[in-house]
Amino acid sequence: MDITKVGVIGAGQMGNGIAHVFALAGYDVLMTDVSRDALDKARELIEANMDRQVARGKISEQDRNAAIGRISTTMTLADLGATDLVIEAATERETVKAAIFEDLVPHLGPNTILTSNTSSISITRLASRTDRPEKFMGFHFMNPVPVMQLVELIRGIATDDPTYEALKGVVERLGKTSATAEDFPAFIVNRILMPMINEAVYTLYEGVGSVASIDSAMKLGTNHPMGPLELADFIGLDTCLAIMNVLHDGLADTKYRPCPLLTKYVEAGWLGRKTQRGFYDYRGEVPVPTR
């Protein structure tokens, strides 16, 4: 399967990072979003991040300019019909993702591969909402995409070998490493990571430790670069809650029950860095624990 043109659905944190790495790897990228403002901000962020890479000697000015030139944007989802590979990176809600694929499918060529950057939702179920479940896979990038080396490849029950091999080749061309996961709730990374974060929230909820002590303990005691509550703020508490709900619903095990305190923060709109408040308050010069 010859992949040269890639469509990216969603211009948020993940979408712009995916567009960034694909453009640098020589792919033509067409990025779409329902918001023109989001597309403009994504392009500005990609340019700023590439400028930082140039300043650090990671890429040349020539490579930066060529990559920027390969990225185009559109607000019309149907325009992605001309691409060879589509990567959906919309919000982590199954109804939204399924609706996007249903709207896109009538405009696709017969050989276009469909993928989702979902961090937890069933690939088999998403694929069943399309006309090509054999050409559908989970393509889960880690955040921030230009920095993190891993890509999880998740085959649905119907995914064929040529599709899997094509995406494995794409990951290699991006200069990243793939890990193949079976299609079970949250796959590998979030199946392990999110219960740890949820347990850290329970530790806070039960008064075992404060935000600062929990994060310090994990950073210094287990050599993690970020504490679990700081990491939750970086990921987004709404995303953490959504993944815990997928685990709890999909595996029917009480050990995956989301902590009530995590739910409370999300209900308050305190979602972490993106809203300036979560387990830390980011509105000042230095983040301050909120508990």
Q: Which of 119, 120, 122, 178 is catalytic?
A: 119
**Residue 140 annotated in active site:** yes
Which DSSP state fits 150?
E
Catalytic residue among 152, 178, 198, 230: 152
Find the radius of gyration of the CA atoms of the chain.
19
Residue 248 annotated to the active site: no
To the query of whether residue 122 is one of the catalytic residues in this protein, the response is no
Mode of pairing for the β-strands spanning 28-32 and 5-9? parallel
* Amino acid identity at 97: K
Alpha helices per DSSP H over the chain? 13-24, 36-55, 61-69, 94-104, 123-127, 161-173, 189-205, 211-222, 228-235, 237-251, 260-267
236, containing H or E segment: none
Alpha-carbon gap, residue 180 to 135, rounded angstroms: 16
Distance CA 259, CA 27 (A): 42
Whether 94 is catalytic: no
Catalytic residue selected from 16, 88, 140, 178: 140
Residues with a known catalytic role: 119, 140, 152, 190
